[in-house]
Chains A and B, each alone.
Chain A
Amino acid sequence: MMYEYLVQAISLVAEPCTLLTILVASIYGLFVGAIPGLTATMAAALLVPFTFFMEPLPAMAAIVAMEAMAIFAGDIPATLVRMPGTPSSAAYTDDCYALTKQGKAGQVLGVGVTCSAIGGLLGALSLMVAAPLLAECAMSFTSFEYFWLAVLGLSSAVVVSSGSMVKGAIALMLGLLISTVGIDITLGYPRFTFGNVELTGGINFIPAMIGLFGVSEVLRNVLHSEELQVATSEAPRHIFSGIATVVRRYKMGILRSSIIGVVIGILPGAGADIAAWIAYAVTKNASPEADKFGQGHIEPIVGATSANNAALGGAWVPALVFGIPGDSITAILIGVLMMKGLRPGPMIFEQQPVLLYAVYVTFILANILLIPLGYLAIRSSGMLLRVSKNYLLPIILLFSIVGSFAINNSLFDVGVMLVMGLLGFYLEANGVPVAPVVLGIVLGPIVEQNFMISVIKTHWSLWEFFTRPVSAVLCLGALLMWGYPLFSYFRKRKSSLSASG
């Protein structure tokens, strides 16, 4: 029966109209993903009016193709100009950019596109096979589990940050404090808004990210006037050279990261961006070359970029099975499905099996298409880099401004971008990493809200944080993440002591 559905599904997807939709949506996704400030979520929202006029399958296929492309495309500006195109690339932006400075932009992007495709395919497979099973497990997650999950993410920030732990912690605290600006969930009290209405909405994370990564990079560049006349770096070349070696060498890493990605994607409220962070930290903890991370090493890129694409497939699981979105894109997907009179839920598996299989087929097709289309995108992006910096920097700044503006159509956000740019510039000039600031802004609300919700639920009894089974496992995971570097540090120290003594 499954085979029958699959054949029917393939013939549905193979219709010229559907194929064309997939192609157009892919190109659209590549564009949007490559432009800082335009997230895949926003791209999906912009697709909605078009899906009004589409059949259900092309509408879903458009979203699938678009998101797969967009999440990879976010790596392109991250690598070339140190501006993550989507938040999902933020975790490993510094690694990519460091490699670009060594003239390896081509290889980075080649690895990026290949691993994204592999991660995406693994995500699609797990969506096909394990959807109902995995979703059932995720349904039992409550605020306790989300709290620990976010703590796990925060711990990864400190593990991820290169150099001084103290500086990483300061950066994280700054990010978390920034995230507390705005309306509080427990009483609806406006915090640190100083009477400003824009601030009641909090500090928007997209302009903050563009400022911290992109604008600070522009500022640092204009400080060195002697370099302004030269091009930023060589255009990406040798995109797929040595790719087989990298994939073979890190095949376990890719598998592990993809599994992490799928699991995080399935959890409602945590998507590709958090998957990338956690995969990065896990890769770092498991790697024998952890000291190279953050300074231009391919391994973390391999891990994190497979994870964020794998998360996409995962996020569809709870969306299809229970109508609970796994991330913000699937939230939009549910809206689109409802508009078509398809109510996601267990019933859809019985009523529309062919449609579901067609979605799986699209997922696989989109991830295969990612390789040639991604290649073309990388090649054309190279043009940008043959321009010398005194032309390029103002154009990057222009994109930063428009990108910050576009997410919420607010000039206030352009101001946020400027302030964050200056902050990032100063912090980096003194060796404080900016990545933890970004993570703090993302995870701050999740940590705080779930903590407050939990304690209000249990009348301030903290026991349930440790006694609920899944909670306990996640708590243990967080402890391990902290414990492992410390443990290996002491072991190294002990062995070096005994060697010298």
Chain B
Amino acid sequence: MFRNCRCIAWVLLLVLVFGVVGMVQAQKKYPSRPISLICPWAAGGGTDRVARMIAVLLEKELGQPVNVINRTGGGGAVGHSAGATAASNGYTITIGTVEIAMMHWMGLTPISYKDLRCVAQVNFDPAGVMVSSTSPWQTLEELHDAIRANPGSLKASGTAKGGIWDLARAGWMQTLGLPESAVAWVPSTGAATGLQELVAGGVDIVTASLPEGATLIDAGRVRPLAIMSDQRDPLFPDVPTLKDKGLDWALGAWRGIMVPAKTPDDIVAILEEALAKVVASDEYVEFMQNNGFGVVYRDSKAFSEFVAEQDAMFGKLMKDLGLTQ
């Protein structure tokens, strides 16, 4: 049974030799080999589509293949953790989503935005207020009156409990001066299932972003009443913002490229420059418009400050809601 020992010893020696050769080879200008782009959400979803588009365009800028890796699960916890704990050599980058500023407050992962370095924001989508087209509410005011008249009787959906659209709903209620239970939250596995419930009459309101409901809005099944933003969405110019209605509440989902916290400055600079070109490119803008995603660019410094602000805001909101651990 030990007749193969010598063979195995040879193989191990070979491994060692290749290892040393490889170490020497690794000292080249960044990027000298393919880059992995971690997407914390499933293939086919919105974040995945944005990630794949960025990967294609980034490859053009950097001259190295960029491969999208889906690391899904745990409401984004798995992918963000993988991105934060990867080697800080710029070869593993992550498309971070708004959840990075939320998950650690719920105790889902010890990873927070501090474990990642923000390179560039590439997108922002504000939350919306959508109702079924068979509902009696034509305007936001009518909906507010209905909520005030019967607090707790209307139900909203769009994500799991404690997800981004649930928080959008809770903040909206707070800004109205109502308890957050004035509109009950029905959990769902995502905006699509929430919208399906809305159309089928299972819930009354969906607070997902309008592009997520665009096909149903076009089909005349869903009526958008407002968006939770400071500016109107150019794709839905007729839909008022909460600010237009005198409510100071804005919240949305955002995406951006992040790298592990200890990544050296020169690598971050190279990526930042490439991403600035990517986001400004015609292909990217056209792609985002066709998909209904909003293009918002922030550079490394501005994005870092934005994420820190968002993190503090979510922390306070989630504490009020009793979602923190």
A binds B: yes
* Residues in chain A within 8 A of chain B (CB atoms): 41-42, 44-45, 48-49, 52, 139-143, 182-183, 185-188, 190, 197-198, 200-202, 204, 268-269, 322-325, 328-329, 331-332, 334-335, 338-341, 343-347, 408-410, 449, 452-453, 456-457
B70 at the interface (CB under 8 A from A): yes
B271 at the interface (CB under 8 A from A): no
Least CB separation from B289: chain A residue: A341
- A457 surroundings in chain B (CB, below 8 A): 155, 186, 202-203
- The answer to whether B200 and A338 touch across the interface, beta carbons within 8 angstroms, is no
Least CB separation from B189: chain A residue: A449
- A141 surroundings in chain B (CB, below 8 A): 196, 200
Cα–Cα, bound, A200→B291 (Å):
30
- The answer to whether B44 and A185 touch across the interface, beta carbons within 8 angstroms, is no
Least CB separation from B106: chain A residue: A188
- B49 surroundings in chain A (CB, below 8 A): 48, 335, 339
- B287 surroundings in chain A (CB, below 8 A): 339
- The answer to whether A197 and B202 touch across the interface, beta carbons within 8 angstroms, is no
B75 at the interface (CB under 8 A from A): yes
B135 at the interface (CB under 8 A from A): no
- B45 surroundings in chain A (CB, below 8 A): 331
**Beyond A42-B43, A197-B81, A324-B192, is A142–B163 a contact (Cβ under 8 Å)?**
no
* Residues in chain B within 8 A of chain A (CB atoms): 42-46, 48-49, 52-53, 55-56, 69-75, 77-78, 81-82, 106-109, 111, 155, 160-163, 184, 186-189, 192-193, 195-197, 199-203, 214-216, 218-219, 221, 287, 290-292, 323
Among the listed A143, A186, A268, which residue makes an inter-chain contact with B192, where contact means beta carbons less than 8 Å apart? A268
- B189 surroundings in chain A (CB, below 8 A): 185, 449
Cα–Cα, bound, A409→B82 (Å):
10
- The answer to whether A45 and B78 touch across the interface, beta carbons within 8 angstroms, is no
- The answer to whether B218 and A202 touch across the interface, beta carbons within 8 angstroms, is no
Task: With both chains docked as a complex, state the minimum distance between the C-beta of A173 and any C-beta of chain B, in angstroms.
Answer: 23
Least CB separation from A43: chain B residue: B43
Other A-B contacts than A141-B196, A457-B186, 19 sampled, CB-CB below 8 A, are A41-B44, A45-B52, A45-B70, A49-B56, A140-B200, A182-B74, A183-B75, A186-B160, A197-B78, A204-B73, A322-B219, A324-B196, A339-B287, A340-B290, A345-B218, A345-B219, A346-B219, A347-B219, A449-B187
Among the listed B48, B108, B155, which residue makes an inter-chain contact with A190, where contact means beta carbons less than 8 Å apart? B108
- The answer to whether A453 and B188 touch across the interface, beta carbons within 8 angstroms, is yes
Cα–Cα, bound, A198→B73 (Å):
8
Task: With both chains docked as a complex, state the minimum distance between the C-beta of B169 and any C-beta of chain A, in angstroms.
Answer: 14
- The answer to whether A188 and B163 touch across the interface, beta carbons within 8 angstroms, is yes
Q: Name the 3 nearest CB pairs between A and B, nearest first.
A: A201-B73, A323-B215, A200-B74
Cα–Cα, bound, A264→B75 (Å):
27
- The answer to whether B192 and A325 touch across the interface, beta carbons within 8 angstroms, is yes
Task: With both chains docked as a complex, state the minimum distance between the C-beta of A490 and any C-beta of chain B, in angstroms.
Answer: 39
Least CB separation from B214: chain A residue: A343
- The answer to whether A408 and B70 touch across the interface, beta carbons within 8 angstroms, is yes
- A322 surroundings in chain B (CB, below 8 A): 215-216, 219, 221
- The answer to whether A187 and B291 touch across the interface, beta carbons within 8 angstroms, is no
Task: With both chains docked as a complex, state the minimum distance between the C-beta of A333 and any C-beta of chain B, in angstroms.
Answer: 9
Among the listed B44, B111, B160, B221, which residue makes an inter-chain contact with A335, where contact means beta carbons less than 8 Å apart? B44
Cα–Cα, bound, A183→B108 (Å):
8
- The answer to whether B221 and A187 touch across the interface, beta carbons within 8 angstroms, is no
Question: What are 8 pairs between A and B in contact, CB < 8 Å?
Answer: A140-B200, A185-B187, A188-B75, A190-B108, A324-B192, A329-B44, A347-B218, A456-B186
- B184 surroundings in chain A (CB, below 8 A): 456
Least CB separation from B80: chain A residue: A197
Task: With both chains docked as a complex, state the minimum distance between the C-beta of A216 and any C-beta of chain B, in angstroms.
Answer: 24
Among the listed A142, A332, A340, which residue makes an inter-chain contact with B197, where contact means beta carbons less than 8 Å apart? A142
- B52 surroundings in chain A (CB, below 8 A): 45, 48-49
**Beyond A141-B196, A338-B290, is A183–B44 a contact (Cβ under 8 Å)?**
no
- A325 surroundings in chain B (CB, below 8 A): 192
Which of B109, B155, B188, B193 gathers the greatest number of chain A CB atoms within 10 Å? B193
- The answer to whether B162 and A187 touch across the interface, beta carbons within 8 angstroms, is yes
- The answer to whether B161 and A410 touch across the interface, beta carbons within 8 angstroms, is no
- B155 surroundings in chain A (CB, below 8 A): 457
- The answer to whether A343 and B73 touch across the interface, beta carbons within 8 angstroms, is no
**Beyond A183-B74, A268-B192, A346-B219, is A139–B199 a contact (Cβ under 8 Å)?**
yes
Task: With both chains docked as a complex, state the minimum distance between the C-beta of B135 and any C-beta of chain A, in angstroms.
Answer: 16
Task: With both chains docked as a complex, state the minimum distance between the C-beta of A244 and any C-beta of chain B, in angstroms.
Answer: 39
- The answer to whether A49 and B55 touch across the interface, beta carbons within 8 angstroms, is yes
- The answer to whether A341 and B192 touch across the interface, beta carbons within 8 angstroms, is no
Task: With both chains docked as a complex, state the minimum distance between the C-beta of B237 and any C-beta of chain A, in angstroms.
Answer: 17
- B162 surroundings in chain A (CB, below 8 A): 187-188
Cα–Cα, bound, A324→B46 (Å):
14
Among the listed A45, A268, A343, A408, which residue makes an inter-chain contact with B215, where contact means beta carbons less than 8 Å apart? A343
- B163 surroundings in chain A (CB, below 8 A): 188
Cα–Cα, bound, A141→B107 (Å):
34
- A142 surroundings in chain B (CB, below 8 A): 196-197, 200-202
Task: With both chains docked as a complex, state the minimum distance between the C-beta of A272 and any C-beta of chain B, in angstroms.
Answer: 15
Least CB separation from A347: chain B residue: B218
Task: With both chains docked as a complex, state the minimum distance between the C-beta of A143 and any C-beta of chain B, in angstroms.
Answer: 6
- B72 surroundings in chain A (CB, below 8 A): 201, 408
Which of A44, A188, A340 gathers the greatest number of chain B CB atoms within 10 Å? A188
- B216 surroundings in chain A (CB, below 8 A): 322-324, 345
Cα–Cα, bound, A188→B185 (Å):
13
- The answer to whether B291 and A339 touch across the interface, beta carbons within 8 angstroms, is yes
Cα–Cα, bound, A339→B290 (Å):
5
Cα–Cα, bound, A185→B202 (Å):
17
Among the listed A48, A338, A452, which residue makes an inter-chain contact with B291, where contact means beta carbons less than 8 Å apart? A338
- The answer to whether A188 and B44 touch across the interface, beta carbons within 8 angstroms, is no
Task: With both chains docked as a complex, state the minimum distance between the C-beta of A487 and any C-beta of chain B, in angstroms.
Answer: 34
- A183 surroundings in chain B (CB, below 8 A): 74-75, 77, 108, 160
- The answer to whether B187 and A182 touch across the interface, beta carbons within 8 angstroms, is no
